[in-house]
Amino acid sequence: MWEGIRKRLQRTRPGLVVVISYLGVAVIGTALLMLPIASTGLPLPVIDALFTATSAICVTGLIVVDTGTQFTLFGKTVILSLIQLGGLGVMTFSVLLFVFIGRGIGLKQRWIINEGFSATPIPDVGHLISAIFYFTFIVEGAGAVLLFLFWRSEMPAAPAAFSAVFHSVSAFCNAGFSLFRTSFIQYRGSVLLNATICLLIVIGGLGFPVIYEFIRRAQYRRAHIRIHLSLHTKMVIWMTLVLIVAGFAAIFLLERGHGPLIPWHEKIATSLFQSITARTAGFNTLDIPALSAATLFVLIMLMFIGASPGSCGGGIKTTSLAVMAAILKNKISGRDTVSIFHRTLPDETVSRALSIFILAVITITLGLILLLVTESSYLDNGTFSFQAYLFEAVSAFATVGLSMGVTSSLTAGGKVVIIILMLLGRVGLLTVAYVVTRKIWGRHYRYSEEKVMIG
């Protein structure tokens, strides 16, 4: 039986293997979370367990039940394991297993790793995966130590240690799961906690290609060999800095005279924290439903953009935004090609960015329409607004986890919609598109041109 399954997977397209992997782990996580040992009260219903498992494996953070009080230590450990699996990628763990047992890495695994972790072919996939795992556990370990030192003063050693590990992994994987009912609102004045969580989120959101390049750059520097940063890394670093600063400025200015009266230093800290976490992590130090409409729209835009390629985060990715900006700039300038940082982008890269942007808009629109249908009773009685469901749809697709309070009141149909959006956002729209469509070979011709009016 197992031999038959193995042969069938070998004939399966790589994109479908990725989809099946995430679905399979989500189903296993659902079964584990439904066990009586996983809950402090009654076992979770199937839909709630599936929602929680999907949110964890897709490193989203949207919850229908409170993580800290609903689940036992076993249940929390299951969620933590799903977050780590989802953050690094299910297939990444399988490749690491092949490396450890000395088996060769097949073409499918190489394709999946190259698609997820590098803009160029990787000669030594095993070395890349090992470096990713070592770096991940070193950073998560350092974050856990700092968080343990913070929480040790207010809780016993064992709970402080588990809380530190849980939140360090959740932050680095950009998952947004928290053991506290109000996330980190009560800790918005803590410099240590804010700085630690923000650093973990940023490092996890840069993407493993960037991290791996910096590791190799450090190795070459010790050998007195200088190498230049790749275009991908330059785009990621610049866009990350621009988005953090722009998000901070927008939130600070829009909220400075709105909401509760808090000290200025806390206003600065919360604005910076929310700017960083909104792009994919999902933690919050501000009460999201209490924010102004303008601030909420800024958060929606930040969530839609998301993190960087090859990272633990979702969204259309920072590089896609950079390519879109470069397209606009170059086309307005009358250039036939698209260039950025004195490099010309291949047509395939430009087409890929445009495809991702269009598919993301279509997916969120369809998801929002379905939510407005399934949750029509809450709209009709004014419990939640149109903006709240738009916020929820974007948060689910971008695997962020922020919410205006909608998640816990979703109907069964609404939960299914959010589950699908989270899966699509984590697996990737282009991967899904490769699964449901087949590339047409042999078209070596083009039709005659004809202009149409635009604008």
- pLDDT tens digits, 233-281: 999 999 999 999 999 999 999 988 666 657 788 889 999 999 999 988 8
Q: Average the pLDDT over each of 106-115, 171-180, 375-384, 429-438 and give the range with the smallest value.
A: 106-115
Buried b (16+ CB within 10 A) or exposed e, 419-430: bbbbbbbbbbbe
- For 213-235, what is each residue's pLDDT tens digit? 888 787 777 776 777 788 889 99
What is the mean predicted confidence (pLDDT) over 124-138? 77
Question: What's the mean pLDDT when you consider all of the chain?
Answer: 84
More confidently predicted of 111 and 159 = 159
**Contact of 415 with 51, CB cutoff 8 Å:** yes
- For 320-332, what is each residue's pLDDT tens digit? 999 999 998 888 8
Task: Give the containing element (helix H, strand E) for 272.
Answer: helix 264-277
Distance CA 396, CA 417 (A): 9
What is the mean predicted confidence (pLDDT) over 177-203? 93
Q: What is the pLDDT of residue 219?
A: 75
What is the mean predicted confidence (pLDDT) over 34-47? 94
End-to-end CA distance of the chain: 59
Q: What is the pLDDT of residue 3?
A: 47
Distance CA 246, CA 242 (A): 6
Token pair 């910096």 in the structure block, residue? 214
What is the CA 134 to chain-centroid distance, rounded? 21
Tell if the pTM clears 0.95, that is, is over it. Answer: no
What is the mean predicted confidence (pLDDT) over 410-421? 96
Token pair 């400025």 in the structure block, residue? 249
CA-based nearest residue to 293, from 264, 249, 258, 268: 258
Residue type, 344: T
Distance CA 306, CA 231 (A): 19
Q: What is the pLDDT of residue 455?
A: 66
Distance CA 374, CA 411 (A): 7
- Please give the sequence-ordered ranges of beta strands (E in DSSP) within 270-356, or none if there are none: 339-340, 343-344
The helix, strand and coil proportions of the chain, stated in percent and rounded to the nearest 5, come to: 65, 0, 30
More confidently predicted of 213 and 156 = 156
What is the mean predicted confidence (pLDDT) over 31-39? 96
- Name the pLDDT band for 2 (thresholds 50, 70, 90): very low
- For 53-78, what is each residue's pLDDT tens digit? 999 999 999 999 999 999 999 999 99
CB neighbour list of residue 111: distance below 8 Å, 6 or more residues apart: 14
What is the mean predicted confidence (pLDDT) over 32-46? 94
376 to 64, 110, 219: CA distances (angstroms):
19, 45, 57
Domain boundaries, given as residue ranges, for the chain = 12-435
Residue type, 243: L
- % of the chain with per-residue pLDDT over 90: 53
Question: 3-state DSSP call for residue 117?
Answer: helix
Distance CA 417, CA 423 (A): 10
Q: Classify the C-alpha dihedral 421-392-285-315 as positive or negative.
A: positive
CB neighbour list of residue 185: distance below 8 Å, 6 or more residues apart: 284, 285, 286, 287
Distance CA 314, CA 363 (A): 14
**Contact of 315 with 304, CB cutoff 8 Å:** yes
Distance CA 216, CA 131 (A): 10
Backbone angles phi, psi at 237, to 5 degrees: -60, -50
- For 286-297, what is each residue's pLDDT tens digit? 999 989 999 999
What is the mean predicted confidence (pLDDT) over 156-183? 94
What is the CA 108 to chain-centroid distance, rounded? 23
Q: What is the pLDDT of residue 114?
A: 56
Backbone angles phi, psi at 277, to 5 degrees: -75, -25
181 to 44, 171, 184, 229, 294: CA distances (angstroms):
18, 16, 9, 42, 25
Distance CA 79, CA 381 (A): 35
Q: Among the ranges 19-23, 83-87, 428-432, 444-448, which has the highest mean pLDDT value? A: 83-87
| Radius of gyration for the chain, computed over Cα atoms and rounded to the nearest angstrom | 22
